[in-house]
Each structure stands twice: as C-alpha cells, then as structure tokens.
C-alpha cells in the first residue's frame, strides 16, 4: 500500500472521492485526464495562459457572503497548474458535470426524428451561435461561461458584452475570433434556465470540513514527499520554522510552472491556502496609523477589489492582471514574495507606501516594500520566515493614483513594463510623489532621481521634462523578448507624461481621453461601487 498519512478527499461527479498514492505535485489536469478519464478538460499551454484546462472549484461560502451561489464560492482556475492535494475539502466541477445538471432526458421537441441529449444552456448557446470550430478550447470557454451563468442567475442579472469579455479574458481561441463566443454568452440567458443543485455539494463539503492540519504523503522513488496544509497562522508559523527548506505554496501560479516547465523537484510542500487568517482584508488602526491590511493569502482578485474600492483609478491594472483564473488562485502575498521584476502588484503597492509584514515563529517584523528586494529574485526573507501580510496606509490612498500596464497583448499577458504612480499637489507644487516601475530593472523599484526632480517643484511640463531625463539615470533597462531597452525607457517617460496630462492643475484630461476602459461597463467597477 502506498504510504500516505491522509487521503485527498474532495467532491467530484456527485460524490466524495478519496485519492492516495499520487505525488503531491500531480496536477488536477493530469489526474482528470489520465486517472479518471475525464478528458473534456484539455491541456493547451500547461502554464495557465490559454484557459483550455479551465475548471471551477467550489468552497463553502460564509453566511451572507456576497457573490456566493447557493452557499458555494465558485471560482474558475487553471487545472494544469493546480496540485491535486489543494482540492482537499473542496468541490471540483468540469465540463462533464454540465450533462448531469440537465438530467437524463432527451429533447424530443427540438429534434423529433432523432432525439438527442439535452445540452446545458451554456453548451446549447455555443452550438446555436457557432462558437466552436476546432473545439479544443471549447470546454474551457464553457466552464468560464458556466461560472458566469451561475453567478448572474443567482443575482438575477445579465452581463454586458464587455463583462463577458472580462470573464473570458483567460480563455484563448485561435479559430473564432471570439465574436460568436461572446454571442453565446449573451444567448445562454435567453434559453430555459438550468441551475446547479448546490444542496448535496454543500452537504458534502460540510462533512469534509476540518480544523486540523491536512497532512498528505506519497513516494517519489525511494523518497516520501509531504504536503502540509495548516489551518491556523500559529500552525503555519511553527511548521515553517520546523521545515525552513520546504517549498511554500500559495496559489501555485508560479510554482506550478516550476514543475511543469522546469521539472523542478520541490520536495516537501507547505500550503498556505487553508489558513483563513492569512486571507483577511480589513482596515486597522486610526488617525495617522490607519491602514488597509491585506493578508498574504488573500487572492489577487479580492486584494485588488479592496484597493479599487478605495482607489477606482487602479481598475485598469486590476482587470489586466493576468486573468480571472489566475487572480482567483494567485495571492497578492505570493506575487510580492516571488520577487519577479515584472510583477504587477509591487509597483502599485510601492506607490502606496506599502509595508511588508514578515513572520518567523512568534516574531513579526515590518519593512517598507522597496527594502524587501535585494537583487533579481532575491529578498530579505530569513530561513523559516514567510510573508504574513501587506499594510497600505489609508492616507496614501488619498493621493491621486495611477497604474499603467504595457504588454504586447491587451488581455492575459505578462507586462513589458508596469508603473504605479502617486502624487499629492499643494496648490501648484508637488508635495509628495511616488514613481514605481516594474520591468525596468532587476527588481521592482522606485525612480528616486525622477522623484527628486519633481518633489517640491511646480507641477508643470518643464518639471516633467526634467523628471523624464532623470529616469534615464534611475534605470538601465534590459532588452528581452518583451521589449527593447530603448522602448522601455521611452514608454516609462511617456507614462510620466500621461500622469501629468491626467493630473495637471490646469485643464487635466478626463479619463475618457486617456483610457478605453472608461467607455466600457465592467463588472469589476459595478462590484466595487456596490460594496
């Protein structure tokens, strides 16, 4: 018998399944296709970019939780980069589940001579609107649309065409040009409704609910690799201190690639996904000490939603950060700790004077985020230490804020350059200025000389021109596949110009003059306005 401390238990295809013996880094996608022959879910890129492997994960929602569907929190994720043990205590929905929702009857009214199995409204709309050609990407689109369908049916609403495009931004298709798929997204609400019966799922997940640390183990050759998932912050701290060499796992949006593309041997894993305390997002303190605290385990989606609720000008970068499946799984703490020079969270957080909170055992310390990074992919984390949270002063959210992302593809792409800017103007003079850039150096960092060229100076074109020249002293960007060094520097200077055009004291340009987002009604904007 394969050694295992506990089996992986989750809800799938109408029942609770127990899985043992598979390695902790086995992906949900490989398990679906190779172990249980659910081959509707496809492998495309195997790195979370194309959306062919999109599935929906269900978790028990908190009472009265906004956005819940029948007591469940439903989230699209990329199955290719999610490790199977992360499903413990959750529900997994794939394209095969839609058939069960339609019952076992046949639609004889539509096809009198040759009755066929009823399709779910999402699937039927794809057929009616010719939303599938080669069909390879179709199951991923269907699952993203199904999540949208369930959420809007629960709320009694219908998405706009642009809201559908936002929801599908993580699904790529090389055949249709997306127009018929968006047509299907609108058409599915015109068909007779079919809803997920959440009651048995909620009952099953309630029976799987656990408070103790989940420990799973399986062999790799002669070695036994462990997957630990603590449920409290204290347990996490103790486990991390005891196993400083173990790989920390949050959303797996980077670590999954290490396994799939670089074939890294991770050894033991400590997952932070079950620690509720790490997912807290709340305002703390009062007066000058008031802050927005974001737990390191808070999803990118929830963390950015909290920021955008308080600073709507950050909406653009939120909606262009990867894709919904990545933002649902990935965490802001993980994005910051990763240390990538092209991460999209750090420039925004640096512009907001964020501090990073680190913990080792019982010791907790903080430092300004720019001080956390040492060099390319290197930081000041000590052995046994982990990122516990991020703190944004509420006073910083009162400045004029902008965040700009530049990439080759508009949706679901890695930045060539990302900028986070904050400015406070007293009369005609720059009182405070923060200019942070990703993609311009080995680490995300602030443009110290450009800031010095503006601080205490009139907010004029002449001052901006001086700051542009100073940027060339702050950064010596590299040329790579995403952009040349000259392009990066020119764009950085142009974004500084855009900041001035949008915030100048005399006749600032309205948002509709500089951003296409202003004319498109996004679900995200509506969500935060109603929060």
pTM: 0.93
Give the model's pLDDT for residue 342: 87
pLDDT of amino acid 1? 35
Q: What digits encode the pLDDT tens for the residues 468-513?
A: 999 999 999 989 889 999 999 999 999 999 999 999 999 999 877 8
pLDDT at position 107, please? 54
Q: What is the pLDDT of residue 4?
A: 43
Higher pLDDT among residues 503 and 527, named by residue: 503
Q: In what order do the strands lie in the sheet with 445-446?
A: 400-406, 417-426, 429-438, 445-446
pLDDT at 343: 85
**Is pLDDT above 50 for 529?**
no
Q: How far apart are CA 173 and CA 390, in angstroms?
A: 37
Residue 2 pLDDT more than 70?
Answer: no
Residue 246 near residue 44, CB atoms below 8 Å: no
What is the C-alpha separation between 258 and 344, in angstroms, rounded? Answer: 20
DSSP 108-141: TTT-SSS--BPPPHHHHHHHHTT--SS-SSHHHH
Cβ–Cβ under 8 Å, residues 70 and 202: yes
The mean pLDDT value for 427-455 works out to 96
% of the chain beyond a pLDDT of 90 = 83
Question: Per residue in 120-163, pLDDT tens?
Answer: 999 999 999 999 999 999 999 999 999 999 999 999 999 999 89
What integer pLDDT is reported at residue 410 of this predicted model? 80
DSSP 8-state secondary structure symbol assigned to residue 299:
B
Torsion of CA 343, 345, 351, 356, to 10 degrees: -100
* Mean pLDDT value across residues 21-32: 97
Rg (CA), the chain: 24
Cα of first residue to Cα of last residue in the chain, in angstroms, is 51
Which contiguous run of DSSP H or E holds residue 161? helix 161-167
Percent of the chain past pLDDT 70, that is, above it, reads 94
pLDDT score recorded for residue 52: 97
Cα–Cα nearest to 59, from 240, 329, 409: 329
Distance of alpha carbon 383 from the chain centroid: 27
Q: How would residue 65 be classed by pLDDT, with cut points 50, 70 and 90? A: very high
Per-residue DSSP letters for 6-54?
Answer: S-EEEEETTEEEEE-SS-TT-BHHHIIIIIS--TTS--SSSSSSS-TTE
Beta strands in 119-268 (DSSP E): 214-220, 223-229, 247-249
What is each CA distance from 186 to 71, 139, 148, 162, 166, in whole angstroms? 25, 17, 11, 11, 14
CA dist 369 and 86 (Å) reads: 29
Measured between alpha carbons, how far is 51 from 79 in angstroms, rounded to an integer? 9
Alpha carbons 30 and 479: distance in angstroms, whole number: 36
Task: Tell me the C-alpha distance between 148 and 159, whole Å.
Answer: 8
Nearest to 57 by CA among 28, 34, 30: 28
Q: What is the pLDDT of residue 519?
A: 60
- Rounded to whole angstroms, how far apart are CA atoms 184 and 174? 17
Burial of 102 from C-beta contacts in 10 A (0-12 / 13-18 / 19+): middle
Lowest mean pLDDT among 62-71, 99-108, 193-202, 327-336: 99-108
Chain length of the chain: 531
Q: Is residue 129 a contact partner of residue 146, using CB atoms and an 8 Å limit?
A: no
Q: CA quadruple 35, 39, 40, 42: dihedral positive or negative?
A: positive
Question: What is the pLDDT at residue 100?
Answer: 86
Residue 186 near residue 141 (C-beta atoms within 8 A):
no
pLDDT at position 90: 98
Q: Could you tell me which residues come within 8 angstroms of residue 183 by beta carbon, excluding any fewer than 6 positions away?
A: 125, 129, 131
377 pLDDT band, cuts 50/70/90, is: confident
- The whole-angstrom separation of Cα 389 and Cα 280 is 9
pLDDT value of position 3: 43
User: Residue 15 and residue 177: Cα distance in Å, rounded?
Assistant: 38
Q: Which two tokens stand for residue 156?
A: 């009694």
Report yes or no: 169 and 148 within 8 Å, Cβ to Cβ.
Answer: no
Interval 384-403: pLDDT, tens: 999 999 999 999 999 999 99
User: Residues 56-72: what's their mean pLDDT?
Assistant: 95
Whether 435 has a pLDDT exceeding 70, the answer reads yes
What is the predicted pLDDT for the residue at 229? Answer: 97
Per-residue pLDDT, 264? 94
H or E element that contains 378:
strand 378-379
523 pLDDT more than 60? no
Joined tokens for residue 71: 């007591």
Q: Which of 382, 415, 419 is nearest to 402 (CA)?
A: 419
Q: Which residues contact 450 (CB under 8 A, 6 or more apart)?
A: 435, 467, 468, 470, 471, 474, 496
Tens digit of each residue's pLDDT (9 = 90 or more) over 276-289: 999 999 999 999 99
Q: Over the stretch 214-237, which tens digit does the pLDDT of each residue have? A: 999 999 988 999 999 999 999 999
Domains, the chain, ordered by start:
8-96+200-271 (3.10.20.30), 103-193 (1.10.150.120), 280-529 (3.30.390.50)
């Amino acid at each position: 018998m394969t050694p295992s401390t506990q089996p992986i238990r989750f809800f799938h295809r109408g029942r609770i399944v127990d899985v043992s013996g598979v390695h902790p880094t086995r992906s949900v996608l490989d398990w679906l296709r190779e172990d249980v022959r659910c081959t509707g879910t496809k492998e495309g890129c195997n790195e979370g970019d194309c959306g062919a492997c999109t599935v929906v994960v269900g978790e028990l929602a908190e009472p009265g939780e906004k956005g819940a569907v029948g007591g469940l929190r439903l989230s699209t994720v990329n199955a290719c980069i999610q490790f199977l043990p992360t499903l413990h205590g959750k529900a997994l929905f794939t394209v095969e589940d839609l058939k069960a929702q339609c019952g076992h009857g046949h639609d004889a009214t539509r096809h009198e001579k040759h009755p066929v199995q009823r399709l779910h409204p999402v699937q039927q709309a794809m057929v009616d609107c010719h939303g599938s050609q080669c069909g390879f990407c179709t199951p991923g689109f269907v699952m993203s649309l199904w999540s949208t369908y369930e959420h809007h049916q629960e709320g009694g609403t219908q998405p706009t065409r642009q809201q559908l495009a936002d929801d599908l931004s993580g699904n790529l298709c090389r055949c249709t040009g997306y127009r018929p798929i968006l047509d299907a997204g609108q058409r599915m609400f015109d068909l007779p409704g079919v809803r997920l019966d959440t009651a048995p799922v909620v009952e099953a997940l309630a029976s799987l609910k656990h408070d103790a640390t989940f420990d799973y183990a399986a062999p790799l050759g002669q070695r036994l690799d462990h997957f630990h998932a603590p449920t409290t912050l204290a347990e996490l701290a103790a486990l991390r201190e005891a196993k400083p060499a173990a790989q920390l796992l949050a959303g797996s949006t980077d670590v999954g690639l290490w396994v799939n593309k670089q074939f890294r041997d991770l050894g033991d894993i400590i997952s932070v996904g079950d620690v509720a305390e790490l997912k807290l997002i709340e305002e703390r303190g009062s007066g000058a000490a008031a802050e927005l605290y974001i737990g390191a385990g808070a999803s990118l989606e929830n963390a950015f939603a909290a920021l955008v609720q308080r600073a709507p000008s950050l909406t653009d970068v939120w909606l262009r950060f990867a894709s919904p499946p990545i933002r649902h799984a990935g965490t802001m703490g993980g994005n910051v700790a990763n240390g990538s020079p092209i991460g999209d969270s750090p420039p925004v957080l640096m512009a907001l004077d964020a501090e990073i909170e680190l913990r080792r055992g019982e010791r907790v310390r903080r430092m300004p985020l720019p001080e956390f990074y040492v060099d390319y992919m290197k930081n000041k984390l000590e052995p046994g230490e982990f990122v516990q949270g991020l703190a944004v002063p509420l006073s910083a959210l009162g400045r004029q804020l902008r965040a700009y992302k530049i990439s080759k593809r508009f949706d679901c792409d890695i930045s060539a350059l990302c900028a986070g800017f904050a400015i406070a103007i007293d009369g005609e003079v720059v009182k405070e200025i923060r200019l942070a850039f990703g993609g311009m150096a080995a680490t995300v960092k602030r443009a110290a000389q450009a800031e010095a060229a503006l601080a205490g100076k009139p907010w004029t074109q002449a001052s901006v021109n001086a700051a542009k020249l100073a940027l060339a002293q702050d950064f010596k960007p590299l040329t790579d596949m995403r952009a040349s060094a000259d392009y990066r520097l020119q764009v950085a200077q142009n974004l500084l110009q855009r900041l001035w055009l949008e915030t100048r004291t005399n006749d600032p340009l309205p948002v509709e003059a500089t951003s296409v987002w202003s004319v498109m009604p996004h679900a995200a904007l509506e969500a935060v306005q109603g929060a």
